[in-house]
Each structure stands twice: as structure tokens, then as C-alpha cells.
Amino acid sequence: MYGSVPAFAAPVDARMAFVRKTYAHLAGAVGLFILLSSVFYAAGLGVAIVGMLGTSRFMWLMILGGFMIAGYLAQSLARSRQSLALQYAGLGLYALIEAFIFAPMIAIAAVYAPGVLPEATVITLAGFTGLTAYTLFSKKDFSFLGPGLAIAGFVALGTIIVGVIFGFNLGIWFSALMVLFASGAVVYSTSNILRVYPTDQYVAAALDLFAAVALLFWYVLRILLELQRR
């Protein structure tokens, strides 16, 4: 009955049920990511990818391009109104490709700095919890962040591509800026949960949040690895 209207316009019970389902599915996606990352690590996938990246710096651009295409497909599936099964397929696919893209960095961290993985997890969880609590309890509309995040995202992507092509390290300051970008994405996505997504789109909402959390974790982990090297 209320599936076609944004969650904030639905009755309180329907709105709260939507929020609970969204975060339950987010937890499920994170759990699947952890499981797949463990399987990939045990299978030596991360080490194999690191070896592939060593053959050509353009290999990372190919992986990044594949990640973006697969991510777009996953998001399209998760937003499908045709069936819940397609939505779950999209969320599962996104967890799979995130585990794949993280595989080389997790392999490096596990060998050279195993302590940074739990540290990065705690920092990411604390940051996400604080940003989520502030956004939900303040009840502010952060939709104005959308255009700025879109522009910053294109600039960041262009910077990464240029860095790969010319072979220079973007450094810890770029990672710090990307942590700020990811934090903004968490706030923006959390705000959209109630103001954009209908109450029957909790799977797509969970994917949106998962993408922001994964991005935050990626750059927190990169910063810790960089600090460990110094």
C-alpha cells in the first residue's frame, strides 16, 4: 500500500519496518562480503591479482572498469520492481565484486600489516555509526550534497586514472580527502533512505549504504597501510 511513496510519507510503523529491513540487509551484505573475502584470501586470489597488477599498471584500470560496469548492473538489479529475487541478486553481486576488488589489498595487509585490518574495521564501524546516528536523529535533509558528491566523484575518478596512467602514487592526503568524500556519501545515502526510497525498496537502500561503507573502509585501510609503511 505504501510501497510507492518515500518512507518519510508512510505511517510510522511502515517507516520503522523499512529502516529495520534496510539495516538488516546492510548487515547481511557486510556479512557476505566478509565471507567472500575470507574465501578469496584462502584461495590466494588476492595474491594472484597483485601478481597480475605487477605485469602492467593498466591492469588496474581494466579491473576498475569491470568493477564499475558490474556495480552499475548490481544497482540496476537491486532497484528492480519486477521481483525481490532480482533485488537480492543485485545486492549479492555487489558484495561479490566488492570482495574481489578488496582481495589484493586484504592480501597485502594480511601479510605485511595484519593488525590494520581489525583497526580499519573498528574505525569504519565507529565512523559509520556516528554519521548514521547524526543523520537520522537530526532529521535534516542532506540531499543538497548530491551534486557536490557527483562532481567530487568524477574528479576523484579522473585523478585515479591519471595516477595509474602516469604511474604516480596519490599519497595519504588523497586517501584522507576520499575518507571525507566517503563520509559525505554515508550521510547522503542515509538521508536518502527516508526521503527517496519507497518502503518496498529496502534492498536497494541497503546496497546504497553498503557502497558508501565499503568506500569508507577502503580508504581508511589505505591510510593505515600507508602509515604502517612509514
Quote the pLDDT of residue 29: 95
pLDDT tens for each residue of 110-119: 888 888 899 9
Quote the pLDDT of residue 4: 63
CA dihedral of 225, 227, 228, 230, whole degrees rounded to 10: 130
- CA angle, 33 then 143 then 78, to 5°: 35
Domain boundaries in the chain?
7-229
Compute the distance between CA of residue 209 and CA of residue 187 in angstroms, rounded to an integer. 9
- pLDDT mean for each 10 residues of the chain (230 residues): 61 81 94 94 88 74 82 87 88 93 89 87 94 86 87 88 76 89 92 83 92 92 84
Quote the pLDDT of residue 1: 43
Instruction: Identify the three-state secondary structure at position 168.
Output: coil
Quote the pLDDT of residue 5: 67
Question: What is the phi/psi pair of residue 4, to 5°?
Answer: -95, 0
Which amino acid appears at position 190 of this protein? Answer: T
CA distances (Å), origin 202, targets 24, 125, 207: 9, 21, 9
pLDDT tens for each residue of 119-137: 999 999 999 999 999 988 8
Within 10 angstroms of residue 175's Cβ, the number of other Cβ atoms is: 18
Quote the pLDDT of residue 230: 63
- Nearest-CA neighbor of 134 among 124, 142, 123? 142
